[in-house]
Amino acid sequence: MQLNAPLDMHLHLRDGDMLENIATASAHTFSGAIIMPNLVPPVSTKEEVIAYKERIMKAIGNEKFTPYMTLFFKPTYDKDFLTSVRDEITAIKLYPAGITTNSEGGVSGFDVEELRPTLEAMSELNIPLCVHGETNGFVMDREAEFVSIYERLASAFPDLKIIMEHITTKASVDALEKHKNLYATITVHHLLITLDDVAGGMLKPHLFCKPIAKRPEDRDALLKVALEANPKVMFGSDSAPHPRHAKESCGCAAGVFTAPIALQLLAELFEKNNASTKNLQAFVSDNAQAIYGIKPLSKVVTLQKKPFLVPSNYNGVVPMYADEEIMYSIKEVTDG
Ligand SMILES: [Zn+2]
């Protein structure tokens, strides 16, 4: 099975030692990725975008990989600022305040009029808005509660491309069809697990993430649009590494590290569900190219149906399915 120019449309590369430790795990098999800006402090100036991109390029060494950079949304961004930074970024990421790792400086109210100047300027400059869509409500309901905010934004800014990031519920899938300017990323772990896998038996800290995995019917709704390669959905791993001690602790950090095994897991999942390689190609690259209007670097990843024993850790970061066998492995990566 061959995949052309795989893209990861939601990726956390972190910074410093962690960046050095995990950057090649994505850069080896993906042509490019949308890089999340939730560093400490968040990436919110042109200089910070450029400097972070340089650190990423250094960390990936000789791998052929494009980091598609993002800014951390602030309602104070005006059109002059956005025009000046337009060439350096691919999207802007909006976090509700305090909802996930390093999101304390995010947006707390969703007053359309307050957000209007920034969002209208983004529409005019064709800058997509990526959103972590969760309220501060009950943990299982946060995403479904946020759907009305997505719909309000989609109606108020019909020319703004809004990406519902890492969707986990049927409610979000249903909203996709109601607004032409709503799109979504889906992770591989949310296609595979439900809350039962996280907390139904012994607690599995390496499967704990935000948004938390939901019910079987939610997973089924996600699987349907992914397997049929619905043109409004694209793969975004939300691969989010933490040091082992931050996961295996009292107060487990949210995030699942899937970057090095994401394509292998997707190959297995699509095969098990009798979905075509053509649909997988659309889900992991073609749909994203069309939605974002990007032309990724060419890269051909050949996968083979040969069991792969997932390592216990990658430079100290424990991946999903550590020490377990998965059905596909990477045979070869070429420049295409
Ligand atoms: Zn994320």
pLDDT tens for residues 211-253? 999 999 999 999 999 999 999 999 999 999 999 999 999 999 9
Is the pLDDT at 22 greater than 80? The verdict is: yes
Calculate how far, in angstroms, residue 179's C-alpha sits from the geometric centre of ligand 1.
23
Is the pLDDT at 103 greater than 90? The verdict is: no
Segment (H or E) for 234? strand 233-235
CA atoms within 13 A on the CB side of 41: 7
Calculate how far, in angstroms, residue 38's C-alpha sits from the geometric centre of ligand 1.
9
Q: How far apart are CA 309 and CA 328, in angstroms?
A: 10
Calculate how far, in angstroms, residue 306's C-alpha sits from the geometric centre of ligand 1.
30
Residue 108 confidence class, pLDDT cut points 50, 70, 90: confident
Calculate how far, in angstroms, residue 72's C-alpha sits from the geometric centre of ligand 1.
12
Residue 238 is among the residues annotated as catalytic for this protein: yes
In this prediction the pTM is: 0.96
CA distances from 34 to 137, 208, 311 (A): 28, 22, 25
Catalytic residue among 17, 80, 196, 238: 238
